[in-house]
């Protein structure tokens, strides 16, 4: 079984703002204007070339997506298990990611033993959409913030991993 999701309004979701965010990540800077810690999903979204790094090349590729160049990469969905632990154990009360702009390695293989009804919860990351501006269709079922707050508590991760 392969997971997929229609990209929908990806053309309006990937903008020059995302290219700037990717460039900031490539330079080791936080792209979040409010100072929120960088999310692992931002790093995954910024790595549009798929080489497990965020570089100025990714920023250029995102800019090409944003302006609709004919040689632009197409945005695609990458899926991550919702329970994936991206966080190191806190040191002196400070939590850090176990992936970085120079090493975006995470488990991209899902082994699911399907016997009867099976539910697998995944996080979809749209490549190029570094600021998470993609929005679900109007008829989509959305999860409430408390779902993510509970998951953050269970995983020992900041809720900003899912909610920017």
Give the whole-angstrom CA distance, residue 164 versus residue 159.
8
pLDDT band, very low/low/confident/very high, at 1 (cuts 50, 70, 90):
very low
- Could you tell me the pLDDT band of residue 139, with boundaries at 50, 70 and 90? confident
Hey, what's the torsion of the CAs at 91, 92, 95, 96, to 10 degrees? Answer: -50
pLDDT at position 110: 67
Q: Which of 26, 106, 100, 99 is nearest to 63 (CA)?
A: 26
pLDDT at 52: 94
Check: CB of residue 110 under 8 Å from CB of residue 120.
yes
Tell me how crowded residue 6 is: count the other CB atoms within 10 A of its CB: 8
Whether the predicted pLDDT of 72 surpasses 80: yes
Among residues 55, 77, 75, the alpha carbon closest in space to that of 65 is found at 75
State how beta strands 77-81 and 122-126 pair.
antiparallel
User: What whole-number percentage of the chain has pLDDT above 90?
Assistant: 45
């Amino acid at each position: 079984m392969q997971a997929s999701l229609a990209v929908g309004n990806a053309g309006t979701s990937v903008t020059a703002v995302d290219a700037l965010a990717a460039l900031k990540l490539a330079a080791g800077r936080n792209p979040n204007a409010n100072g929120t810690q960088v999310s692992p999903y931002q790093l995954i979204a910024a790595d549009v070339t798929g080489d497990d790094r965020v570089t100025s090349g990714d920023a250029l590729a995102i800019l090409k997506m944003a302006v609709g160049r004919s040689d632009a990469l197409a945005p695609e969905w990458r899926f991550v298990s919702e329970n994936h632990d991206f966080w190191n154990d806190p040191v002196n009360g400070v939590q850090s990611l176990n992936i970085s702009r120079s090493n975006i390695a995470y488990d991209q293989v899902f082994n699911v033993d399907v016997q009867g009804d099976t539910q697998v919860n995944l996080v979809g990351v749209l490549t190029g959409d570094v600021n998470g501006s993609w929005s679900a269709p109007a008829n989509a079922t959305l999860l409430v913030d408390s779902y993510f707050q509970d998951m953050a508590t269970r995983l020992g991760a900041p809720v900003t991993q899912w909610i920017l």
